[in-house]
Amino acid sequence: MANAQTLDRIFELVAPFNKKGIELQADTTFATDLDLDSLTVMDLVAEIEDAFDIILPLNLLPELETIEQVAAAVDRIVADND
């Protein structure tokens, strides 16, 4: 489980990309639920990276399908950096 604070911050960052106005949940998926194309995903990744001052490597992205998974990955990377 991701840290609740991290999850909240990711919800905030995803909100502007929620063009369909669906209700954001931990298990909301980027490709199917939010219908984000690869260019938009890139912008979102950059926002998340800057918000947490981390790198989300391109290699990781295929495994990150839901908001929860991104939050958990962010927690892991932040912990690794400390």
Partner 1 sequence: MDLFDKFDALIAQKSSLPFEKADPFKVVMDKVLSETVAIIEGRETILAGTNNYMGMTFNEEAIAAAKEALDNYGTGTTGSRVLNGTYSGHKGLEKTIADFYGMDHCMVFSTGYQANLGMISTLGGVDDYVIIDADSHASIYDGCAMGNATIVRFKHNDIESMEKRLKRLPAEAGKLVVVESLYSMLGDAAPLKELLETAKKYGCTTLVDEAHSMGFCGEKGRGLCEELGVEHLADFIVGTFSKSVGTVGGYCVSNHPKFDVLRLVCRPYMFTASLPPSVVASATASIKALERSGNRRAHLWENARRLHAGLKAAGFTLATETASSPIIAVCLPDPLIATKFWEKLLLNGVYVNMALPPATPAGYNLMRVSVCAQHTTEQIDEITRRFIATAEELGLNVKAA
Residues forming contacts to partner 1 in the complex (CB under 8 A) are: 37-39, 42, 45-46, 49-50, 53-55, 57-59
The minimum distance between CB 58 and partner 1, in angstroms, equals: 4
**20 vs 59, beta carbon nearer partner 1:** 59
If one counts every other C-beta atom within 10 angstroms of the C-beta of residue 64, the result is: 19
Q: Where are the alpha helices (DSSP H) in the chain?
A: 4-14, 38-52, 67-81
**49 vs 65, beta carbon nearer partner 1:** 49
- Angle of helix 38-52 relative to helix 4-14, nearest 10 degrees, comes to 130
**24 vs 75, beta carbon nearer partner 1:** 75
